[in-house]
Amino acid sequence: MPNVNNWQLGREMSYPHEESHPKSQFAFIFNLNRCIGCQTCTIACKSTWTFSKGQELIWWNNVESKPYGGYPNNWDAKLLDLLEQANPGGQVWDTSEKDPTKKPYGVFDGMTIFEAADKKPRTGGPQQALGYLPTDDEWRAPNRHEDTAAGADFKKDAQSGGSVELPEHKVWFFHLARICNHCTYPGCLGSCPRNAIYKRPEDGIVLIDQSRCRGYRKCVEGCPYKKAYYRPTTRTSEKCIGCYPRIEGRDKNASPTGAPAETRCMAACVGNIRLQGVVKIDDNGDWTEDPKNPLYYLIRERELALPLYPQFGTEPNGYYVPPRWVPRNYLKQMFGPGVEHAIEQYSCPDRELLAILQLFRAQQQIIFRYEIEKGPKVAEVEVTMPDGSSKTQEIFNDTVLGYNKFDEEVVRITVEEPTFERSPEHHVNSI
């Protein structure tokens, strides 16, 4: 297999295809501290793309409750176990050497799904990535074991369980929203024997060419996130298409001037957890420096949002702000060694960070650039830091402005939510 550069792993790795990169890349951030598990995103996607015969059990967007929930059941635990069997005790990170551009999280010393491909007995046909085919039963529900918590025994005297104090809850769960990560080195693409899967050169969205697909399900087996699905009525595989008509600015309701708009699942998010963007990529696959792009700022400059299971090796383009109350070892396995740093920053965001966090779900159009107009200091609040200590957070009522692809201002929002007092003679609720 050729060698390619994976910056999330801080090293080169083997991949079934030669290195080749789009000019820009579809990417997104989900802030898990805010997801309420309402599934509005799930239904927004389903009612747009997967409502037809044969798609009944296909959920391009799903929200599962961790640690026990999953769609398909136990998808991540099963793959982590396969990797551990392939490389016992070796799935570890070396964090002694870091470099903000080349190895922001250190170096992954273990095996990716591509490097471990030969370690599993073959079940028919060549295998380019370590994986497995879920059973029909495992696909049955989008979030089995919903809201089942883990941790210490429930205590009678504390209604929420063992502890309700930050920084970590002893009884915990959280909602993990997931879509296809439109990976830089997709496991689905690398596994397809028909070359039916490709990345669009303009935005890195990963698509399955339905006319080439023969339904061998190698993509279903090779996607570590289980985001490629087999549809029995067409006998082909399908996956999230990144709402590409909206990314191309063809939804006139969302973007009258033809600027790129966010996907349906992002635009519908009730909890304001989602921010989607497009980042510039250079010929080596590195992100072009662009600190005024909110995604670049939050992912590369601040390292607040982290990739989901970077150790799988696909360089996923979905990033997550980890939930503050969850045991750190669980989060480190899921998001890599950057967890402590991310949670530390999120616990007490500084002035610029707090302003940029307001951009989540502030507009349907994709924000390519932000500016901040400074406002007065409005509060000081005591916050609990991850080590249990207290810190004073200063809050400034800054205004953050967002600009679309054509540099048109499409967002203007203040840190402090404006409030309006009704005059007493108006009885607005007297229907």
Applying CB under 6 A, the residues found at the interface with ligand SF4 are 35-41, 63, 175, 177, 180-183, 186-188, 206, 223, 225, 227-228, 239, 268-271, 273-274, 314
Nearer to ligand SF4 (CB atom), residue 179 or residue 348: 179
Nearer to ligand SF4 (CB atom), residue 60 or residue 297: 60
Query: Residue 187's closest CA among 125, 114, 271?
Result: 114
d(CA 305, CA 341) in angstroms, rounded, equals 10
State the minimum distance, in angstroms, from the CB of residue 43 to ligand SF4. Answer: 9
Nearer to ligand SF4 (CB atom), residue 45 or residue 372: 45
Tokens linked to 195? 């070359």
d(CA 98, CA 106) in angstroms, rounded, equals 5
Nearer to ligand SF4 (CB atom), residue 149 or residue 308: 308
d(CA 238, CA 228) in angstroms, rounded, equals 6
d(CA 363, CA 410) in angstroms, rounded, equals 7
State the minimum distance, in angstroms, from the CB of residue 46 to ligand SF4. Answer: 12
Q: Angle formed by the axes of helices 328-335 and 339-347, to 10°?
A: 120
State the minimum distance, in angstroms, from the CB of residue 191 to ligand SF4. Answer: 8
State the minimum distance, in angstroms, from the CB of residue 308 to ligand SF4. Answer: 9
| Per-state percent for the chain, helix, strand, coil, to nearest 5 | 20, 25, 60
Nearer to ligand SF4 (CB atom), residue 206 or residue 348: 206
Nearer to ligand SF4 (CB atom), residue 98 or residue 145: 145
Instruction: Give the residue closest to ligand SF4 by C-beta.
Output: 271
CB 213 within 8 A of CB 207: no
Phi, psi of 127 (to 5 degrees): -125, 125
* 228 three-state secondary structure: strand
State the minimum distance, in angstroms, from the CB of residue 183 to ligand SF4. Answer: 3
State the minimum distance, in angstroms, from the CB of residue 203 to ligand SF4. Answer: 13
Tokens linked to 330? 């669980």
Nearer to ligand SF4 (CB atom), residue 110 or residue 187: 187
d(CA 172, CA 395) in angstroms, rounded, equals 29
d(CA 320, CA 335) in angstroms, rounded, equals 8
State the minimum distance, in angstroms, from the CB of residue 406 to ligand SF4. Answer: 28
CA 280 to chain centre: 18
